């Protein structure tokens, strides 16, 4: 099969288009023929080696985390899916590889594709949808009437998180560039701050939750807009000791995490707020919840561009440039 491969960790290096063996699904997996694959900043970060301590992949590695496609083969223990099913998923860590013609996915990580979405739209959902769900529903239990601040409201995670938070009944503030303010308002944000002309710290105060996806300076400012007892969930780091325990990281890696996050955890403690790092995980059951929201019209995919499969390197560079409005997808079928 054709696949885009990382041969060694390097920032902004081109992926190699290669002929690779078609994988065999394990007994608890299905083999999916890939029709479309979402492109995420996580892909660029893994290619650059930023997660090699947390995710020690063996190279060469087929990249890609999001998939929408058709089941072509099932493992002996699979009961929920059959060949011909249209499905979507965030591929499992250590079994990623959606920038390819076929990818194996655990049954527990898979869900039937929302009927009203195209394959490209479905492929745009899993990673960002699960990230928003695990941050706002699983980690903080966002409730009606609470106030949440979502950074980069026009990005992949942001466009989904704004809609999810609004559906949950929260008051939503978000940042966006001048040309994307109208889009973020149309998704349900109550307050949209143009980060090119305003500083969110001058506008927001006494928030219950922050979803942080930006740099360390933005993170520190975000802690200060929370009310006492508020919570900040960061998807951009630094990883904290709790995360190290969750992934059973080796002792020296947990020490590194403790040191990297010591300053932000100390600041949070002084302010009387909570800090935690989220590295989202695959989940078919949560994807089914997300499917229900999509089918009900509560959440819609926000797409920027669809690239042909052979232009996967250009798609990744476009995402890495940070200007995408919503999601970027590559199409195989």
Q: Examine the domain organization and report whether 169 and 254 are in the same domain.
A: yes
Under the banding of pLDDT at 50, 70 and 90, the label for residue 100 is very high
- What is the structure's pLDDT at 289? 98
- What is the structure's pLDDT at 30? 98
DSSP state of 228: E
161-170, 209-218, 237-246, 286-295 — which is least confidently predicted? 237-246
Q: Examine the domain organization and report whether 238 and 265 are in the same domain.
A: yes
- Which helix (H) or strand (E) segment holds residue 259: the answer is helix 251-271
Q: Examine the domain organization and report whether 194 and 162 are in the same domain.
A: yes
Mean pLDDT of 45-63: 92
- What is the structure's pLDDT at 222? 97
pLDDT at 72 over 90: yes
- What is the structure's pLDDT at 322? 87
Q: Examine the domain organization and report whether 111 and 136 are in the same domain.
A: no
* In contact, 188 and 302? CB cutoff 8 Å: no
Q: Examine the domain organization and report whether 269 and 153 are in the same domain.
A: yes
Residue 174 placed within a domain: yes
- What is the structure's pLDDT at 107? 98
Q: pTM for this one?
A: 0.97
- Gyration radius (Cα) of the chain, Å: 19
Q: Examine the domain organization and report whether 261 and 139 are in the same domain.
A: yes
Domain of 108, in residue numbers: 2-125+301-331
Distance (Å, whole) CA 236 – CA 216? 9
Q: Examine the domain organization and report whether 136 and 261 are in the same domain.
A: yes
Residue 269: which CATH number?
3.40.50.720
From the list 115, 71, 109, 113, the residue with the least C-alpha distance to 90 is 109
Q: Examine the domain organization and report whether 240 and 267 are in the same domain.
A: yes
Residue 209 placed within a domain: yes
pLDDT at 54 over 90: no
pLDDT tens-digit profile of 126-178?
A: 999 999 999 999 999 999 999 999 999 999 999 999 999 999 999 999 999 99
Q: Examine the domain organization and report whether 78 and 100 are in the same domain.
A: yes
Residue bearing the bigger pLDDT, 333 or 307 = 307
The whole-chain average pLDDT of the chain stands at 96
pLDDT tens-digit profile of 300-309?
A: 999 999 999 9
- Measured CA to CA in angstroms, residue 101 lies from 20, 30, 183, 292, 309 at distances of 10, 14, 33, 28, 9
Mean pLDDT of 224-251: 93
Under the banding of pLDDT at 50, 70 and 90, the label for residue 249 is confident
Q: Examine the domain organization and report whether 116 and 136 are in the same domain.
A: no
Residue 233 placed within a domain: yes
What is the count of structural domains for the chain? 2
Residue 283 placed within a domain: no
Q: Examine the domain organization and report whether 114 and 192 are in the same domain.
A: no
Residue 316: which CATH number?
3.90.180.10
* Nearest-10 Cα torsion for 57, 61, 64, 70: -110
Q: Are strands 226-234 and 274-277 parallel, antiparallel or unpaired?
A: parallel
Residue 284 placed within a domain: no
Q: Examine the domain organization and report whether 269 and 306 are in the same domain.
A: no
Residue 290 placed within a domain: no
Residue 270 placed within a domain: yes
pLDDT at 248 over 90: no
Reported in sequence order, the residue ranges of the chain that DSSP labels E, i.e. its strands, are 2-6, 16-19, 29-39, 61-62, 66-74, 86-90, 102-106, 110-112, 147-150, 171-176, 191-194, 207-212, 226-234, 274-277, 303-308, 327-331
Mean pLDDT of 44-65: 93
Residue 264 placed within a domain: yes
- What is the structure's pLDDT at 266? 97
Q: 10 Å Cβ neighbour count for 294? A: 21
């Amino acid at each position: 099969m054709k696949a885009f491969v990382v041969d060694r960790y390097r920032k902004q290096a081109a992926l190699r288009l290669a002929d690779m063996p078609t994988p065999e699904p394990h007994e608890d997996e299905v083999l999916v023929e890939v029709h479309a694959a979402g492109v995420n900043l996580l892909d660029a970060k893994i290619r650059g080696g930023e997660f090699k301590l947390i995710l020690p992949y063996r190279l060469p590695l087929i990249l890609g985390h999001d998939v929408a496609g058709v089941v072509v083969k099932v493992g002996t223990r699979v009961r929920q899916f059959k060949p011909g099913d249209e499905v979507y998923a965030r591929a499992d860590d250590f079994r990623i590889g959606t920038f390819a013609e076929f990818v194996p996915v655990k049954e527990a990580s898979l869900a039937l594709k929302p009927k009203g979405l195209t394959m490209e739209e479905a492929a745009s959902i899993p990673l960002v949808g699960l990230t928003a769900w695990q941050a706002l529903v699983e980690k903080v239990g966002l409730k009606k009437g609470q106030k949440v601040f979502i950074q980069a409201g026009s990005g992949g995670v942001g466009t989904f998180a704004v809609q999810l938070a609004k559906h949950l009944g929260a008051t939503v503030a978000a940042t966006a560039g001048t040309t994307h303010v109208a889009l973020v308002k149309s998704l349900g944000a109550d307050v949209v701050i143009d980060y090119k002309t305003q500083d969110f710290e001058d506008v927001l105060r006494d928030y219950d939750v922050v979803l942080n996806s930006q740099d360390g300076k933005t993170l520190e400012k975000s802690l200060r807009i929370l009310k006492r007892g508020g919570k900040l969930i960061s998807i951009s780091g630094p990883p904290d000791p709790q995360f190290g325990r969750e992934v059973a990281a080796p002792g020296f890696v947990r020490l590194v995490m403790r040191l990297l996050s010591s300053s932000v955890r100390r600041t949070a403690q002084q302010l009387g707020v909570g800090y935690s790092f989220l590295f989202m995980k695959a989940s078919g059951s949560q994807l089914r919840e997300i499917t229900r929201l999509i089918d009900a019209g509560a959440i819609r995919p926000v797409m920027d561009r669809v690239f042909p499969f052979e232009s996967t390197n250009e798609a990744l560079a476009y995402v890495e440039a940070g200007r995408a409005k919503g999601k970027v997808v590559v199409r195989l079928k």
